[in-house]
Structure 1
């Protein structure tokens, strides 16, 4: 097994462990699902302008649904775990590196979501409760890692648009990928590739995501009373 394959399996193991913890606690599971739904709503709130933009709407929707969504990615994760050796063998090295980043992003997100669910009193999430949960969980370095990984996946997809040979190779892999049980991953990569190509340059989009996510993170972890974190420049002013 290559180092990339081992890292992917390790991250998927983390995801599986987090799901097992929630499966044993129905209350925790409900709160984590509420966290995911609220974060999906928050992302749509933060990027309402990009979601309404003819140029950036599709990319914003891709981030919202495929990287930040509350969806159950169990089927895709199960595919990864079963056929990581085939993934490493079939896909180009650049693609495998992106899958590794995607798997790590997934693992970090699941860990943080579980802890957020554990910090909440119930599944009725208000902006104040969300902010307090983040401060209870802490881990600002992991939140920054989560942002960096999300941007890394986006920048990789943007780079791929300048490589027609890679896109052609990806198309040729549809049959073998499906035969190897990699259909969900193939669909994710093709959708991401086509989305970023249609954007005709992702610098503004990714810079916007970076600045807004880091501004919100700074507000979440600022040394300010929750009751005082109001207004457009503070964390509560950025939450739906």
Structure 2
């Protein structure tokens, strides 16, 4: 049976493999970056109403900055991979499980980004080429899992906010985390915890994300929606 550390390391190795493949092909790398940039614009467009609300704006921004977009996390991931055993040893089990879900999402997202980039004829990504790229991959089940993992990260963070002692524990972890090279992860966890705590319940937020992402998923891969649905029409 795989240990939590081995599972997390496996996901990080998948991410590193995707990066090596892209490094060997500048054209593929450029197309992946174009996909990532469009996906960040798509999320900002789809959730512009949530981003503008006092209650949900910070959580939507957290998803936008941490789970979408073209940010380069290679240095963070390399540091992370070196200290996974320390992570498992130092952090509470609930936190380790959340990190495991995040790592699984990270790995799957990188694989899907590469697959989509392989469907592009060039570096231009708009609503039409984005839809064609998704449909060209034929990976509806994996897109559904990507949505499920995204929601699971949010649900985990929301659940952790209901454990009053955990926030204190996270504060106490700052020194050991810094010494172990886990400052970036520590910052992510504290930011996520505080953001979801401030919402005073994430059920409506996560329900909205689930409804919109599943509507887009169905529009992308359901043959009956080939001529376009409201979810596709609203793509930026």
TM bucket normalised to smaller: over 0.9
What is the match of residue 112 of structure 1? 112
Query: Per-residue deviation at 1:79?
Result: 2.0
Give the Cα–Cα distance (whole angstroms) in 2 for the partners of residues 94 and 76 of structure 1.
21
**Aligned-pair Cα RMSD in Å:** 1.3
Tell me, what secondary structure is at the counterpart of 1:125?
Answer: coil
What is the match of residue 235 of structure 2? 239
Give the Cα–Cα distance (whole angstroms) in 1 for the partners of residues 64 and 158 of structure 2.
17
Give the Cα–Cα distance (whole angstroms) in 2 for the partners of residues 206 and 173 of structure 1.
28
Tell me the alpha carbon deviations over residues 170-220 of structure 1, each in whole angstroms, 9 at most, x when there is no partner: 000000000000000000000000000111110000000011001001001
Give the Cα–Cα distance (whole angstroms) in 2 for the partners of residues 224 and 27 of structure 1.
34
Query: Per-residue deviation at 1:80?
Result: 1.8
What is the match of residue 214 of structure 1? 214
Consecutive unaligned residues of structure 1, counting only runs of 5 or more, are none
Q: Which moved more, 1:101-110 or 1:133-142?
A: 133-142
Tell me the alpha carbon deviations over residues 14-63 of structure 1, each in whole angstroms, 9 at most, x when there is no partner: 00000000000001100000000000000001000000011100000000
Q: Which runs of 4+ in 1 moved over 4 A?
A: none
What is the match of residue 91 of structure 1? 91
- TM (norm. structure 2) is 0.97
Give the Cα–Cα distance (whole angstroms) in 2 for the partners of residues 90 and 221 of structure 1.
42
Q: Is the Cα–Cα contact under 8 Å of residues 105 and 150 in structure 2 kept in the other structure?
A: yes
Whether 1:125 and 2:125 are equivalent positions in the alignment is: yes
Query: Per-residue deviation at 1:132?
Result: 0.8
What is the match of residue 200 of structure 1? 200
Q: Is the Cα–Cα contact under 8 Å of residues 216 and 238 in structure 1 kept in the other structure?
A: no
- TM (norm. structure 1) is 0.95
Consecutive unaligned residues of structure 2, counting only runs of 5 or more, are none
What is the match of residue 25 of structure 2? 25
What is the match of residue 160 of structure 1? 160
What is the match of residue 185 of structure 1? 185
Tell me the alpha carbon deviations over residues 114-152 of structure 1, each in whole angstroms, 9 at most, x when there is no partner: 011110001111211111111110111111111111111
Figure out how many residues of one structure are paired with residues of the other and give that number.
236
Q: Is the Cα–Cα contact under 8 Å of residues 131 and 220 in structure 1 kept in the other structure?
A: yes
Tell me, what secondary structure is at the counterpart of 2:208?
Answer: helix
Give the Cα–Cα distance (whole angstroms) in 1 for the partners of residues 79 and 174 of structure 2.
15
